[in-house]
Amino acid sequence: MSSHVEYLNLNLTSTIAGLAAVLLVMFLRLHWPFRFQYIAYLFKRRPEFRLRWLDASYRKNRSRSVAMLDKSTHEILIGNYELAEKYIVQGLNVCKERPSLFNQAMIHYLFYNLAIVYYSSGRYNEALEVAFRVYQRDQGMTDSLAVIACAHARLGEVESAQEAYKLIAKKRSARDWKLLCLAEIEAAKGNYEHALAHLRQLMGNSTHFQHLNRAELEKRLEEWQKASTQAG
């Protein structure tokens, strides 16, 4: 009897160990393409290293959708928006041609980057349309709400911007985005000193904004300083 119990215990242990091994392999296979992105995130305070790892992802992952995602992020961060849009389109085409579960998930991130490209390029209506689509499909991507709030503010739609920001305040979202939204909303209301205070706080705390080219923030700074002087 005891030998049967030992056999059952051995089988149970083997089954659990085997299941754990399978889950580990699945986890590694799922996250392996993102390894460069994860490493790049560790260097978010060191923009030159972050850009280097994002570019490495493109070279190593080649024609995979994650390669196009990371390359588009790389181009966004250095202000090459046309090129970023090109890589996003290529990534979306890869997802369409190879409709795996992985690529279905990647579509949301590619469209999020597209919303960033449109917002950074001053195409605010298009940014709104894409960011709304991202948030409707995946409400876990709360940073898309920040794009919505900022785009509404740039269009002078203060109430809509404030409504979107209220949703961000209730959710977990990047602090940098929250500061930028507050700055955009205050500027849209004509409170340029408050807008500048939020923007300076953002630029002082972040050596490199997570999703925007720093030059865009400097443009806002110059724009609002000029507007504040004229208003005064």
CA 96 to the chain's CA centroid: 21
CA distance 112 to 62: 21
pLDDT the model gives residue 7: 45
CB atoms under 10 Å from CB of 88, counted, come to: 25
Question: Model confidence over 104-132: pLDDT tens digits?
Answer: 888 888 999 999 999 999 999 999 999 99
Beta carbons of 45 and 37 less than 8 angstroms apart: no
CA distance 199 to 209: 12
CA distance 224 to 221: 5
Check pLDDT > 60 for residue 43: no
Check pLDDT > 90 for residue 36: no
Q: Which range in 95-104, 118-127, 205-214, 215-224 is most confidently predicted, on average pLDDT? A: 118-127
Check pLDDT > 50 for residue 24: no
Mean pLDDT, range 194-222, rounded to an integer: 82
Return the structure tokens found at 2: 């005891």
pLDDT the model gives residue 37: 52
